[in-house]
Amino acid sequence: MSLSRASFAARLLLGLLLSLTSVAHAADKPTPPPAGTGAGTVFPAPLLHNADITYTFVLLHPTPPKGNAVAEARKLLASKYKELAGAWKPGAPQPEVELEAVPPEELEPIDEEVLEFFGRKLNAEERKRLKTARHATVLAFHVPFARRNEALLAATRFAHQLAAEHAGFLWDAETREYYSPRGWKEQRLDGWSGGAPSLPAHITMHVYGDGESLRVITLGMAKLGLPDLVVEQVQRSMGNEVGTLVNGVAQLLAEGLELPADGTLSVDLTRVKDPKVKRQLEGKMSEGARRNMKLRAIEAKRDEGDPENHLLEIAFPGSGTPHARQLAALDTLFGKQPDGITPVKPGDPELAEVARKARLRLTELKPRVEKGLRHPEALVVKAGFRTDDGSSEHMWFQVTGWEKDQLRGTLANEPVDVSGLRRGSTVNVPLGDVDDYLYTRPDGTEEGGESSRILMRRYEGR
């Protein structure tokens, strides 16, 4: 693979955090969508597998490398990673690697805001060291689809060994994440000795949006020659379940799921082989889960910041709003999620004090909500809703907005005795009716939820 200086400079715009996989879009005429399944152009089956895979890892040196880092890497490659040291030949391509040192003047500084979102797997001391990096070595991989799994395993091991030997850090240009050698090994290598990897360890998901709807997109599927996956118009209260579904579909694709010309995406979660993903999926299952259904694969609309890879949108069949179709699919695959009901007498003094403190804290958080919470930052609150028999059912809802004294959001629980509401329904609740809150800070830590701990303590003490 011959990479010009200009192409390397493009790969090294670390501050811009752009995905760096080059993909040539085929000119196949897309298949029109089947009637009655909603708008969207069927994802072309020939684009499911990219025969010419490229991806990049960057080794960042907090201290100047001793000796010639590129020469040492080439020596290690030739002696221990011969499966990557081939030559790309038309008709019979072999995995190959190109290594190059980055001149310090071409290396963008890494600021704390970038690390807040892309360096979450680093501790405070590691972040401090990483920000001092002024030298880097690029590891650019070129892999045929038929060798994707063994090549990615070898590339991941090769990068880890280099980072460990140089006490450096690794940046995955496809997922845009930073790792220490320890974090890279624990996340991506432990437990993987061959075959398709556990996909959640090698990809990431970006979740963003305004108001009640989110957009979910993966980054990193290009390393396996597969399209990145998109789900549009996801209600905030369904975000975790949609993320689990996306992981399941990604794993099925990595393990060989094919796509027919009509775009039918046959999702059978029982066919997932990877034990980690299988456990994650089973952990979401409830009574009545069918575990399989036919979804649709359509061409996703590209948004600013998307990876330069083919994008496959997972679309949900049926009628009604996008939210209703998604909820029906999730209920089919995972079963309706049960919510336990704990009876509480009106005027409970301990819970009343929790509610008072929660409202005070929510008043402090109001400016953040009005500005717009950025994932993983999130806010859910609990409030009482009038039941069919005139009593009150207390449920959580995901906050999506705040106007005057009214919190707006989408219901996170499945009501037991409130007609007209379902999980995902839009609700408006006065601040004075709030019982509790659970706030996820930008660093992923949480506060609140005291009422749930009180009720659990009482239940266990019966």
Residue ending a domain, among 168, 195, 222, is 195
φ and ψ at residue 145, rounded to 5 degrees: -55, -40
Residue 72 domain-assigned (yes or no): yes
Q: Are residues 314 and 423 in the same domain?
A: no
Q: Are residues 253 and 216 in the same domain?
A: yes
Q: Are residues 179 and 257 in the same domain?
A: no
Q: Are residues 444 and 329 in the same domain?
A: no
Q: Are residues 388 and 425 in the same domain?
A: yes
List the one residue out of 186, 191, 167, 140 whose CA is nearest residue 66: 167
Q: Are residues 219 and 297 in the same domain?
A: yes
Residue 170 domain-assigned (yes or no): yes
Residue 454 domain-assigned (yes or no): yes
Q: Are residues 268 and 318 in the same domain?
A: yes
Residue 2 domain-assigned (yes or no): no
Return d(Cα 257, Cα 266) in angstroms, integer: 8
Residue type, 244: T
Domain CATH code at residue 440? 2.30.30
Residue ending a domain, among 173, 195, 217, is 195
Residue ending a domain, among 195, 226, 247, is 195
Tokens of 245: 């579904």
Residue 40 domain-assigned (yes or no): no
Q: Are residues 266 and 380 in the same domain?
A: no
H or E, element range at 436: strand 434-440
Q: Is the pTM for the entire model greater than 0.95?
A: no
Return d(Cα 215, Cα 57) in angstroms, integer: 26
Angle at 185 between CA 83 and CA 219, to 5 degrees: 80
Q: How many CA atoms lie within 13 A of 405 on its CB side?
A: 7
Q: How many domains does the chain have?
A: 3
Q: Are residues 66 and 177 in the same domain?
A: yes
Residue 264 domain-assigned (yes or no): yes
Tens of pLDDT along the chain (462 residues) come to 333 333 333 333 333 322 222 222 223 334 444 433 445 899 999 999 999 999 999 999 999 998 899 999 999 999 999 999 888 887 788 999 999 999 888 888 898 888 988 998 999 999 999 999 999 999 999 999 999 999 999 999 999 999 999 999 999 999 999 999 999 999 999 999 999 999 999 999 998 886 668 899 999 999 999 999 999 999 877 888 899 999 999 999 999 999 999 999 999 999 999 999 999 999 989 888 999 999 999 999 999 999 999 999 999 998 888 888 998 999 999 997 655 556 677 778 999 999 999 999 999 999 999 988 887 788 999 999 998 888 888 999 999 899 989 999 988 888 888 888 888 888 999 999 999 999 998 887 889 999 888 887 776 665
Q: Are residues 216 and 316 in the same domain?
A: yes
Q: Are residues 218 and 304 in the same domain?
A: yes
Residue 11 domain-assigned (yes or no): no
DSSP E strand boundaries for 203-283? 204-208, 213-219, 228-235, 264-268
Return d(Cα 206, Cα 219) in angstroms, integer: 8
List the one residue out of 298, 314, 301, 150 whose CA is nearest residue 224: 150
Q: What is the DSSP string of 353-422?
A: HHHHHHHHHHHHHHHHHHH---TT-EEEEEEEEE-TTSSEEEEEEEEEEEETTEEEEEE-S--SS-TT--
Q: Which domain holds residue 362?
A: 349-460
Return d(Cα 181, Cα 163) in angstroms, integer: 6
Q: Which residues contact 435 (CB under 8 A, 6 or more apart)?
A: 351, 354, 355, 358, 381, 382, 383, 384, 394, 451
Q: Are residues 206 and 327 in the same domain?
A: yes
Residue 54 domain-assigned (yes or no): yes
